[in-house]
Chain A
Amino acid sequence: MMAGILWVFSVLTAAGLICYGLQFWSILAAARTVESACGVPGGSFLPPISILKPLKGLDDNLFDNLESFCLLDYPRYELIFALQDRNDQAHKVALKIMNKYPDKDINIVVQRRNEGLNPKVNNLISAYEAARYEYVLISDSNVLAGKDYLKMTVAPMKDPGVGLVSNLIEGVGGRTAGSLLENLHLNSFIMGSVCFLDRFLNIPCVVGKSMLMRKTDLEAVGGLPGVKDVLAEDYLLGRKMNESGRKVVLSPYRIQNVNHYWSLKKFLNRHTRWGKLRWKIGGPKYLAELAANAVFISSMPLLLHGPAGGALVLALSTSLVKTAGDFYIGKKTGNYLNPLSYLLVPAKDFLIGLIWFVPIFSSGVVWRGNKYLIGKDSALSPCPETFSTVQGMRKTTWSYRIANTIRERFA
């Protein structure tokens, strides 16, 4: 019996490692593209760009993130910081940046908008209305950009058939275990999946941290109001753009997402939420994620039968391969996480494997303090007040407490 289980999971692990190998290859190919593009001059296609920055709360490194957009090597652009509330902690940081760079074209828009259920889109709508240029770049507040970012990102737009350009993201920093796990996951699974979908399946996988579009193209697919009630507005904008016949291009230029002080809870919360999005959008394709998690699969015989020789060898060797692979990717992409942090890779993959199951049982998400239920294609609906309680159970029972704890932890 044990030998049979071990054999089955060995085959599944091998399949998972092949998937990982394809992701690995896609990332390295993208890294090579960056290296070859670095020496290429930006060219003469440098249209003026409006950068829309939705702000809410304090992200790690917020001052530097915003400042990096004042130091871009680009002839003409405007920077629009959008907030819903003047009392938001980010407002003070935005003001400081504006005062530090009086010669830059910076505008702070504070407007409470309630057009839709997605607070980021609500925030973006007011920024979009203030944007003066035809090219708009939506850029999250937790993005740190290099000087060449705009030049490199706008280059594919020279082709009028291109409707949207997004960028790869890499996680940097990490002073807590939660941040390290986040950065390791961004730099392996997330980056690998985006590169893999783009290179092998030609599926546009837009990550909303950086999206460059023309206003005319965006409005032709319904504009921002068209995605005001979905959570994955980035993915759906990419899909709409693709369906309208416009190309969606993944720029190999990597932007940085600085994560220093994440708690483990925040890491789990984000990836449970992202998992729910992928489950609601991808449906059965979501199963492939579990199949590609070789570390988690290889640990199953250990969980089922305890630390027997073969099971231990399978789990340890898979963990070793995955850790070495992630370390090599980090080295080749020039992403300098502390080498010792890669020892967390197996634990991270195991945790990700565990939370993979949550979206199948729960549709509730908590995002930036708001609670929602998500439906097909990440459509948002207001969360009923009973969300934090489990209906049909008396509050004093142990089953209620356990079920409620699980719901709240993973919402």
Chain B
Amino acid sequence: MLLCDFHIHTTYSDGSVELGTAIDLYGQAGFDVIAITDHVVNGDNLLGKFARRFRFSVREDNFDEYMDSLKREARRAWDKYGMLVLQGVEISKNYISADMSAHILVLDIKGFIPACLSYEKIFLEAKKQGALTVACHPHHLSDNSRDTLYLWNNRDKYARYIDAWEIANRDDVFNVISLKKYHYIANSDFHKPRHLYSWKTLLNCEKDVESVKQCIKHNKGVAITLFRN
């Protein structure tokens, strides 16, 4: 089984460790597959403008640099640790109301997707790029100031676009995903080194990008585990 974490932030957005350090932290711990998913924040309101102003977001003007760094670090991670690194972002549509907010992981992204697009356009653009979409922390969190409920509240409309839902995020478990029988994965939402010890995904597939994507998409051979030391 491959030990995986598909939700990791670095100093490219609001993470506390630099990209190389995050890669090393996971590599040293024996992970097989990870995805770096820094925030791409919507700039159409005050919250988003603040995040972009203080560089808590990957932006269109530094997206290529972000991708180049990811590719370089992915090669290093493969050579040194035999660890596969997927390029991703977390499209973050933040509003004052949790009911309006949603975060979407786009895994194996190729080109920039602005967060101010409509949800449909974001999902369609991700599909066009052959990327995988994951609904992040879709239900109530223990820290409810981080709640992002829009996708869950509008699941009848958007579920068909979503390849998987986070059934667990860091310390929270969302049983509603299980009840609805949605495809699932579990992630750390890593921002600090201590977040390494949290919910993770186990995949029973080959260690290459396409196999990993197919495994998540078809949701066969997927398990979750609480990674502790």
List chain A positions with a Cβ less than 8 A from chain B: 57-58, 60-64, 89-90, 92-93, 95-96, 99-100, 175-176, 260-261
Contact of B3 among A92, A99, A176 (CB under 8 A): A92
**A93 B29 Cβ-Cβ under 8 A:** yes
The A-contacting residues of B in range 11-37, CB under 8 angstroms, are: 21, 27-30
Q: How far is the CA of A58 from the CA of B30 in the complex (A)?
A: 9
**A64 B193 Cβ-Cβ under 8 A:** no
Say whether, besides A89-B229, A175-B193, A63 and B30 are in contact (CB < 8 Å).
Answer: yes
Q: How far is the CA of A176 from the CA of B81 in the complex (A)?
A: 24
**A62 B28 Cβ-Cβ under 8 A:** yes
CB-CB nearest in chain B for A263: B194
CB-CB nearest in chain B for A95: B30
| Chain B residues within an 8 Å CB radius of A96 | 30, 81-82
Q: List 21 A-B contacts (CB under 8 A).
A: A58-B28, A58-B229, A60-B28, A61-B28, A62-B30, A63-B29, A63-B30, A63-B81, A64-B28, A89-B30, A90-B30, A92-B30, A93-B28, A93-B29, A93-B30, A95-B30, A96-B82, A175-B193, A176-B193, A261-B193, A261-B194
* Min CB gap B35→A, angstroms: 19
**B227 A89 Cβ-Cβ under 8 A:** yes
**A100 B29 Cβ-Cβ under 8 A:** no
Contact of A63 among B3, B28, B193, B194 (CB under 8 A): B28
Given contacts A63-B28, A92-B30, 7 further A-B contacts (CB under 8 A): A58-B229, A60-B28, A61-B28, A62-B29, A63-B81, A95-B30, A96-B81
CB-CB nearest in chain A for B28: A63
CB-CB nearest in chain A for B83: A96
Q: DSSP majority for the A interface?
A: helix
* Min CB gap A322→B, angstroms: 30
Q: How far is the CA of A82 from the CA of B28 in the complex (A)?
A: 18
**A63 B27 Cβ-Cβ under 8 A:** yes
CB-CB nearest in chain A for B26: A63
CB-CB nearest in chain B for A63: B28
| Chain B residues within an 8 Å CB radius of A93 | 28-30
Interface centre among B30, B82, B193, B229 (most CB of A within 10 A): B30
**A100 B82 Cβ-Cβ under 8 A:** yes
Q: How far is the CA of A92 from the CA of B28 in the complex (A)?
A: 10
| Chain B residues within an 8 Å CB radius of A92 | 3, 30
Q: How far is the CA of A90 from the CA of B29 in the complex (A)?
A: 8
* Min CB gap B3→A, angstroms: 7
CB-CB nearest in chain B for A100: B82
Q: How far is the CA of A61 from the CA of B25 in the complex (A)?
A: 8
CB-CB nearest in chain B for A89: B229
* Min CB gap A263→B, angstroms: 8
* Min CB gap A141→B, angstroms: 12
Say whether, besides A96-B81, A99-B82, A89 and B29 are in contact (CB < 8 Å).
Answer: yes
CB-CB nearest in chain B for A57: B229
| Chain A residues within an 8 Å CB radius of B28 | 58, 60-64, 93
